[in-house]
Amino acid sequence: MDEILGILPHRYPFLMVDRVLEWGEGRVRALKNVTANEPFFVGHFPQRPVMPGVLILEGMAQTVGLLVGRDRRRLGYLVGVDRARFRRPVTPGDQLIYEAELERARQGFYRARVSARVNETIVAEAVLSIAEEQQEP
């Protein structure tokens, strides 16, 4: 978790990545445990809690942000979402596995294919565009 906190500027309740499972060249797998005490479940279909799709998308963007900011001197901003699909609801007790792979990178701009899975089933996927901002050392 310390490594994630050193890369991403997000903090509770907006940090949507709990752990990095795997780093690779231009790819990363990360995990989010979805618990019943998440603050958004209080008002988002309280009788049948469902994680808002926009927060799943945020977790996917943060996963790409881990790739962009791994050297701890770059901060990524989500600038585009293409081909987003939400395939099934995410509920308390689910464990989201985010997988991001860079499709293209040029100076200051990244494009990545990202998916979110629960029990090997894709629950969401998108192609995200991320712009970076250099940070002071």
Which neighbouring-strand residues pair with 136? none
Contact in structure between 90 and 101 (CB atoms under 8 Å) = no
Residue written as token pair 């991001």: 100
The encoded tokens of residue 73 equal 């001197």
- What is the C-alpha separation between 47 and 76, in angstroms, rounded? 36
Strands 74-86 and 19-24, by their bridges, are: unpaired
The encoded tokens of residue 4 equal 């994630």
- Active-site positions read 44
